[in-house]
Structures are given as C-alpha cells and as structure tokens.
Amino acid sequence: MKKAFILGTMIFVMAIFAAPAQQGTGNVVSDYTSADGPNIRYIGDYAILDGVLISYSGDDEHLVIPANLGITEIGTGAFIKRDERANNTLISVVVPSGVRVLAENAFADCYKLELIALPDSLISIGDSAFHGTNLSTITIPRNVNSIGNRVFENCNNLQEIVVDQNNRHFASVEGVLLNSARSTLIQYPTARTGSYTVPGSVTHIGDNAFSNNRGLNSISISSNTISIGDRAFNYCSSLTSITTSGIITDIGDYAFAGSGLVSIDLTDGLINIGDGAFRSCNNLTSINLPVSLANIGYSAFSNCNNLLEIVVDQNNRYFSSEDGVLFDITKTTLIQFPGGINGHYSIPNTVTDISGVAFSGSSLSSITMSNSMSRISGFTFYNSRGLTSVIIPENVNFIGSHAFNGSITNIHIGSNVDIHELAFGTTGPGFSSNYNRFFNHFFQLYRRTGSAAGTYTRPDTSSTTWTYTP
C-alpha cells in the first residue's frame, strides 16, 4: 500500500512539472511606487517586490510558478487571499528553482493544497509555512538548513515527511522528521494513528512535535529521552498512555495540555514541569509528583475536571500535599486544588497565598478561606461555575481580575476591600449580557454601604438585584 502511495505521488509530481505554467492573466501590468518608494511589479496574478513574491491573486488549482519571474522568496502570507483569509482553490504548486526562502505563513491556510514540489535552491522554511494545508506528503530538499516552528501545524492529512538523503541538517526515519543527528524529534505526521515508539537515539522531543494529533493513542519514549518540548503533545485527544524506561528531567510548557492522558508515570529525576503542562487533561484522576521535582509552572494542573488527588513524595524538599491538594513545602501557598473534588472546602489557616488559577475549573459549590490570607489573585476561582457561595476573610484587602465567575450568588466579605472592576468577571451564555449590570450593581451596593463587612446575596445567577445583610 505504501509503495503504491509513493508511486502515485511521484507520478503526480512528474505530471505537474510537465504541465504548462499557469501564470494568471497578462504580462507586466504595472509598476507601483508607494509613498515610501519601493517598486512593486505586477505580473499577471503575481505581485513582486525586490525578488519577494508578496502576493498571488489567481485562482488556479494546479500552479507552476514561472522561473523567469526572478523570485527568490515566497513572502509572508503570499498565498493567503486577503479578502478571504485563506486560499480555497490551490491544490498543487511547483516552486521554481532560485527560490531560497519560504517565509512565515507562506502557504498557510491553503486548505486544499495537497502537494507541493520544492526546489533544491531552498534553504529556509519559515514558521507556520504550511499551516492548515491538506498535504499528505512532503519532501524536504537537500539544501534546507532551517525549519521554523509549527511549520506543519493543523496539517491533518499529513502521513509522511521525506528528507533528501543528501541533506546534512535533517533526517527522516519512517516518515518522521528529525535533526541530522537523530537526537531531536521535530515533527510526527499529524494524520498517523495508533501507537508509536520513539527511536532510541532521541534525547529531546521538540516543541509541537505531536501537537494536535487526534489519532495517536499510545507512545513509548526512548530510555535516552530526557526532555519534552513545549506543546509537544498538546491536544492529542486520543493519547491515553505514555511509557518510558528512562528519566525525563524536563516537561515543557503545555506539553500535554488537552491530551487524553488517563495516567502518567512521573519518575524520580524529573526536575521541571512547565506552565500549563497538564492543563485540561480531563481524563486524569490522580498524579504522583516525585522527590526530585523542584519547579511547577503556572497553571500546570488547572482545569483537570476529573482530577481527584495530587500526591507529592513525602521527601520532596519543595512541595507537599494534604488531602490530595498541592501546596508548597511550608503549606503557606496553595498551588492547585484538584478539579474533580466537589462540595465544600476549607482552606487551611497556614495558607497566606493562593496561586493564580489554583481553583480554576473546580467542582466546588462553596469555600471557606484561610484567615491568614490578605489577597485573592486574578483568575483564582475562574471557570468554577458550580461555586455559588464564598466566605472572604476580614484580612483580605484585594480581589483581582476575574477572581470569580458570575455564578456567585452569596458573598460574605470584609470591609474596605479593593475590588478589581472585573473581579467577578463572567463566562458562558447568559452571563456576558448581564455582566455590566451585575458588577455595577454589586459594586455600587458595596460602596453605598461604605464598603461594609457583611453578606451580599442575590436570588440566582440571572438576577442583578443584590441585597445586603450586616
């Protein structure tokens, strides 16, 4: 099957190279000098500035860009039709010899583009150059020495990436893109499904390497792999299992965010977990943090709606846990409350600070805060839509932006609290339209009472009428 696929692809490419060039209509129609002086040449459907193709306005399906246009670079977003923010006609394209650079977003959102032939003159492929295209296969020419970030993001039909065997900077192993030393896995084709075993030579899984792969369900990581890059597996919604026989020391920002992980074994030797690394992993129910862990990034475990416990090795020098809740070692900072725990929770009185988004997306209906707290940071309880009642201690003197949702119907608050204008920011249908009235009425009522301590209530979340009880 694979041989037939490759043979069909080769025939398709040969047919394109043999086809007459489609240049749009006409020859040079004008030279345009802007107020700043540069000359833009318009040749048929092409607009060219100093050798850079800055836009293509044609509607060809199969395009061979003429070599005699003197183009050395396909410019930023050159094939994005400005009035449509996409190109909805282009199916195949041949880039001519002489082009050295594909700039950022060069062919981005050409969502029908199935095949592209790149010349040996090419040396650089910019960020997101093929974002959102329909490519199933691509060959990286021999002289390419630079490939940007997210080049193949949302290429949901991509099955293989082939690298010219004479390329000294990159390699392809079974259709997967790696650096020439085969130590960094750069891109796994997005359309592949099932399981995958990372080659033993790989020490680093690159940024976005598996991002948005919806069919990958399990992965075995090499014993030599020590780091996982930013967003490496984010939104791999079918990925439920990861195994490794080695020691991973670093997990990058949003590395597994939105993935389908049911469990993950974080072994001793792990030092860093990046921002949002496991954010919105809604299948996780428990996570164990090893003795070696020294850093946990912002929002690392937020919005994990079924997470019931975070357990820290009792010998860890930086973090601790109590009743499944994650704290710093002194239990003065509450870092993360598991999103799957519902009902009521009383924050221990040792806590003086709550990390931002610590309760974001939680299932709690009510909470009693520590008497040692002086402030509630922005987004602390954001998206906790079941939270209707909150008791804010007398010592709290500041409530930050979007600290709570518009789901609150009962607030017990102290006097003279500095409330951010978006402290009770709203989310979801029915909240947004009432937001200004909701906040203004509460704020005005609080001011009318002289910012007095007491209980403020309203009948339900749709109501903008609050009452005050001392």
In the chain, where the domains are located: 1-164, 193-330, 341-470
pLDDT for position 25: 39
Confidence (pTM):
0.87
Give the pLDDT confidence score for residue 31 in this predicted structure: 52
pLDDT at 323 over 50: yes
Q: What is the 3-state secondary structure (H, E, C) of the chain?
A: CHHHHHHHHHHHHHHHHHCCCCCCCCCEEEEEECCCCCEEEEECCEEEECCEEEEECCCCCEEECCHHHCCCEECCCCCCECCCCECCCCCEEECCCCCCEECCCCCCCCCCCCEEECCCCCCEECCCCCCCCCCCEEEECCCCCEECCCCCCCCCCCCEEEECCCCCCEEEECCEEEECCCCEEEECCCCCCEEEECCCCCCEECCCCCCCCCCEEEEEECCCCCEECCCCCCCCCCCCEEEECCCCCEECCCCCCCCCCCCCCCCCCCCEECCCCCCCCCCCCEEEECCCCCEECCCCCCCCCCCCEEEECCCCCCEEEECCEEEECCCCEEEECCCCCEEEEECCCCCCEECCCCCCCCEEEEEECCCCCCEECCCCCCCCCCCCEEECCCCCCEECCCCCCCCCCEEEECCCCEECCCCCCCCCCCCHHHHHHHHHHHHHHHHHCCCCCEEEECCCCCCCCCEEEC
CATH number of 193-330: 3.80.10.10
In this prediction, residue 425 has a pLDDT band, given cuts at 50, 70 and 90, of: low
Tens digits of residue pLDDT in 334-351: 999 999 999 999 999 999
Q: For a pLDDT cut of 70, what percent of the chain falls above it?
A: 86
Q: Are 1-164 and 193-330 equal in CATH topology?
A: yes
Q: Which of 175-189, 374-388, 393-407 has the highest mean pLDDT?
A: 175-189
pLDDT at 195: 97
Pick the CATH number of 1-164 from 2.60.40.420, 3.40.1180.10, 3.30.70.20, 3.80.10.10: 3.80.10.10
The stretch 281-302 carries a mean pLDDT of: 96
Which pLDDT does position 396 carry in this prediction?
92
